[in-house]
């Protein structure tokens, strides 16, 4: 394991659910991060899917130091550079291309790469990555897929993400090779639009109870 990957251990062990966050309006970033932290969720994955994402990461890193803010949807080397420059402490990708893995290693940037096949797992392992996101988790086979992967790859810890709900999360979290799950349900667009930060704090608190 690369030394920078120790931060991924902290990301995976901080709580049962990593919130996958989409921020459209930069002015929502800090109150949203504070609402999640107030609910006991300090690892935050801000996806690079919106124009506001990089500035949001920078704002959260500066104003909410108790949060562990990371960047999601990393696609290429440039994404790693701009996420790191904005203060992201880790990155998450839907995939695990050789160039993305090499760029993260070279930058000393903790990365949770996405995999969906045994060949993806082997390629990531060979590049030194043992904590992986299974994406899209439900569509890739969900619980059955994770049980099957545990046969040949018992040393891999997964953060399944994609299609997981508060209803299905406990069954994922009960698996020996699942460290945590990712999900977008902690930050629903309607609550963000309504700036219902208390509602988001409640969702964060509820997510802490999902481990059976
Ligand atoms: O943007 C990324 O980097 C992604 O990998 C996609 C997210 O992981 C899924 O969109 C999770 O969303 P839900 O399925 O709604 O929980």
Per-residue tokens: 157: 């810890």
pLDDT digits (tens, 9 = 90+) for 51-74: 999 999 999 999 999 999 999 999
Residue tagged active-site, from 24, 133, 193, 212? 133
pLDDT computed for residue 212 by the predictor: 76
Residue bearing the CA closest to ligand 1, atom 7? 162
The answer to whether the CB of 146 falls within 8 A of the CB of 169 is no
Residue bearing the CA closest to ligand 1, atom 5? 94
pLDDT computed for residue 93 by the predictor: 98
Which residue(s) pair with 46 in the sheet? 21, 71
Span from the CA of 45 to the centroid of ligand 1 (angstroms): 10
pLDDT digits (tens, 9 = 90+) for 64-101: 999 999 999 999 999 999 999 999 999 999 999 999 99
Q: Is 5 helix (H, G, I), strand (E, B) or coil?
A: helix
Residue tagged active-site, from 45, 66, 147, 212? 45
Q: Which residues line ligand 1 (CB under 6 A)?
A: 20, 47, 49, 72-73, 92, 94, 135, 161-164, 182-184
**Domain segments of the chain as ranges:** 3-207
Q: Among 21, 45, 47, which is best to mutate for testing ligand 1, by the most ligand atoms less than 8 A from CB?
A: 47
| pTM over the 0.90 mark | yes
Residue bearing the CA closest to ligand 1, atom 3? 73
pLDDT digits (tens, 9 = 90+) for 151-199: 999 999 999 999 999 999 999 999 999 999 999 999 999 999 999 999 9
Phi/psi at 37 (5° precision): -60, -40
ipTM for this model: 0.93
Alpha helices in 49-163 (DSSP H): 53-63, 77-86, 98-107, 118-126, 142-150
Residue bearing the CA closest to ligand 1, atom 16? 183
Q: Among 11, 172, 182, which is best to mutate for testing ligand 1, by the most ligand atoms less than 8 A from CB?
A: 182
CA 129 to chain centre: 15
Place 4 in a pLDDT band, splitting at 50, 70 and 90. Answer: confident
Q: Is 69 helix (H, G, I), strand (E, B) or coil?
A: strand
The answer to whether the CB of 160 falls within 8 A of the CB of 141 is no
pLDDT digits (tens, 9 = 90+) for 115-138: 999 999 999 999 999 999 999 999
Span from the CA of 42 to the centroid of ligand 1 (angstroms): 18
Average pLDDT of 1-16?
Answer: 88
**CA 189, 47, 146, 177 torsion: positive or negative?**
negative
Superfamily of domain 3-207: Aldolase class I (3.20.20.70)
Furthest CA-CA distance within the chain = 46
Cα–Cα distance between 44 and 103 in angstroms, integer? Answer: 22
Cα–Cα distance between 130 and 127 in angstroms, integer? Answer: 9
The answer to whether the CB of 115 falls within 8 A of the CB of 96 is yes
């Amino acid at each position: 394991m690369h030394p920078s990957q120790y931060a991924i251990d902290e990301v995976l062990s901080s709580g049962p659910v990593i919130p996958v966050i989409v921020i459209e309006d930069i002015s929502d970033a800090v109150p949203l991060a504070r609402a999640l932290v107030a609910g006991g969720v300090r690892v935050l994955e801000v996806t690079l899917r919106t124009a506001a994402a990089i500035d949001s990461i920078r704002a959260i890193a500066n104003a909410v130091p108790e949060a562990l803010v990371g960047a999601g949807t990393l696609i290429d080397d440039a994404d790693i550079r701009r996420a790191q420059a904005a203060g992201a402490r880790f990155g998450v990708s839907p995939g695990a291309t050789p160039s993305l893995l090499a760029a993260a290693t070279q930058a000393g940037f903790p990365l949770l790469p996405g995999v969906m096949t045994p060949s993806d797992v082997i390629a990531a392992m060979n590049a030194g990555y043992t904590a992986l996101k299974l994406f899209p988790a439900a569509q890739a086979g969900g619980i059955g897929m994770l049980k099957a992967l545990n046969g040949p790859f018992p040393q891999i810890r997964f953060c399944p993400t994609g299609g997981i709900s508060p209803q299905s999360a406990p069954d994922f979290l009960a698996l020996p090779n699942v460290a945590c799950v990712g999900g977008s349900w902690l930050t629903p667009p309607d609550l963000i639009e309504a700036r219902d930060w208390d509602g988001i704090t409640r969702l964060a608190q509820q997510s802490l109870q999902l481990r059976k």
